[in-house]
Structure 1
Amino acid sequence: MTNRTFTIIKPNAVGLGHTGEILEIIEKAGFRILALKMVCLSRSDTEKFYHVHKERPFFRTLNLFMTAGPIVVAVLEKENAVADFRTLIGATDPAKAAEGTIRKRFAESKTRNAIHASDSNENAAWEASFFFTDKEILETTYQLPVSPEEIDKD
C-alpha cells in the first residue's frame, strides 16, 4: 500500500553540504518527494515537535542540536513508506547502522545522526502537518501541458 512518511535532514548534514546526496539516495530508493523546504527551528518549535522526548535526559542536547542551523524537511511517498524509509536511514547510532544506510554514511554520532524518520503512519501525518499545509503537499506528478514535440519545436 502506498503511504507517506516524513523526514528531516538535520543541521549537521545540511551544514556539511550533504542535502543533495541524501535527497538523491531517497529518490533512487523509490520515494517520491511530495513536499520539501528548508527551515530553521526555534527552541519553542523543537520543544513542540519533540514533545514526546521532553522528559528524556537527551532532550536538552537534542534541542541545542536541532536549533544549530537550517534543516530540510520533506514528505515522502512510497509503498510501505515508513518501514522502508527507516531501513534506508539505518540505526540511530551510526556505529550500529548497516553499511550503505544514510546514517552510516553521513551521521557523526548518535545525537548528530544526520536524519530523522517518522516511526508510524500516524506520527508521519502529524509531523508533516507540523511543517506543511495541505496545499504544500503536492500529489501531482510531472505532466507536460502539451506534447513533448510541441515544447521541443523551437
Structure 2
Amino acid sequence: MHDVKNHRTFLKRTKYDDLHLEDLFIGNKVNVFSRQLVLTDYGDQYTARQLGSRKEKTLALIKPDAISKVGEIIEIINKAGFTITKLKMMTLSRKEATDFHIDHHSKPFLNELIQFITSGPVVAMEILRDDAICEWKRLLGHANSQMARADAPGSLRALFGTDGIRNAAHGPDSVACAAREMELFFPSSGVCGPANTAKFTNCTCCIIKPHAVSEDIIGICSQTDLRICLFV
C-alpha cells in the first residue's frame, strides 16, 4: 500500500485480523493500523466484473403512507440481510418529486404520484448487500399492493401498502436508476439535497450507537408516545 501524499510505502502485504472481506466495498471506510482508508474504486476491470454485484447499493424509499411503520420496515430490512449505510427523513418539494418521478413524466397518473409523495415526510435509505437491487425489489413485491398480497403476502407492499400509488415503499429498477435516485437524496456534490423534517420544538435527540443499529430500537420507539420527526 503506497502513501501517495508522502511518496512512501505505508504497508506491505500482511494479515490484518480486524479487516474482513465483507468490509471491502466501494464507498466504505475501513481502519487499518489506525489509518482510515476510503475504498473509491476497483483495482482493475476483472475485479469490478467479479465483485460488482457484491455489496451493491440501492435506494430504499419509505413513502408517506408507511411512515408510521418505519420501525417495522427497518427491522424487516435488517433481517433480510441489508445494511443501512445512509438514512434521512425529509419532505419533498413539488420540483424534487417531479425530478424523482422523471420516468413517469408521460404517464396520466403523474400528478397523483407527485401529490402523494409530497403529502408528508418520506424516509430515504441507502442500503447495501449482495445483489441489492434485485433483492430489494423482491422484498418490496408487486408495485400494486393488491396484487402483491396475492403474489407475495409477506412482501412490504403487501403488508403496508394500499394500492398502486399508496404502496408503502419504492426501489429503483436498475443500477443506473439507483445511482440517479441516490444522487437526488444523498448528493455527492456537497449540496444538501431535500430539506429534512426537523421541527426543533418539544423534542430531544436520540442516538442509536453502532452496535445497536440492527436492533429494533426504532420500532420500539414507534410503539410509544414518541413521534420520530427526523433521521439523519
Whose radius of gyration is greater, 1 or 2? 2
Offset from partner CA, 1:46-103 (integer Å, 9 cap, x none): 1111111111011010000000000000000000100000000100111211111000
Q: Does 1:39 align with 2:90?
A: yes
Aligned partner of 2:160 in structure 1 is: 106
Among candidates 112, 127, 131, match of residue 61 of structure 1: 112
Q: Does 1:26 align with 2:105?
A: no
Instruction: For residue 13 of structure 1, give the secondary structure of its aligned residue in structure 2.
Output: helix
* Structure 2 length-normalised TM: 0.56
Q: Contact 2:66–2:161 at 8 Å: present in 1 too?
A: yes
Amino acid at match of 1:110: G
Q: Contact 2:146–2:162 at 8 Å: present in 1 too?
A: no
Q: Does 1:2 align with 2:55?
A: yes
Amino acid at match of 1:4: K
Amino acid at match of 1:7: A
Superposition pairs for residues 1-154 of structure 1, below 5 Å?
A: 1-14=54-67, 17-97=68-148, 98-134=152-188
Cα separation, 2, equivalents of 1:95 and 1:114: 12
| Structure 1: 5+ residue stretches without partners | 137-141, 144-154
Moved over 6 A (4+): none
Cα separation, 2, equivalents of 1:62 and 1:31: 27
Offset from partner CA, 1:97-137 (integer Å, 9 cap, x none): 1111000000011110000001111111111111113489x
Query: RCO greater where, 1 or 2, for CA within 8 Å and sep 6 or more?
Result: 1
CA root-mean-square deviation: 1.5
Cα separation, 1, equivalents of 2:186 and 2:55: 20
Instruction: Name the % identity.
Output: 38
What's the offset of the Cα at 1:9? 0.1
Compare the two structures and name the one with the higher helix fraction.
1
Aligned partner of 2:19 in structure 1 is: none
For this pair of structures, how many residues does the alignment match? 136
Amino acid at match of 2:155: T
* Structure 1 length-normalised TM: 0.84
Instruction: For residue 85 of structure 2, give the secondary structure of its aligned residue in structure 1.
Output: strand
Aligned partner of 2:199 in structure 1 is: none
| Structure 2: 5+ residue stretches without partners | 1-53, 193-209, 212-232
Cα separation, 2, equivalents of 1:2 and 1:50: 26
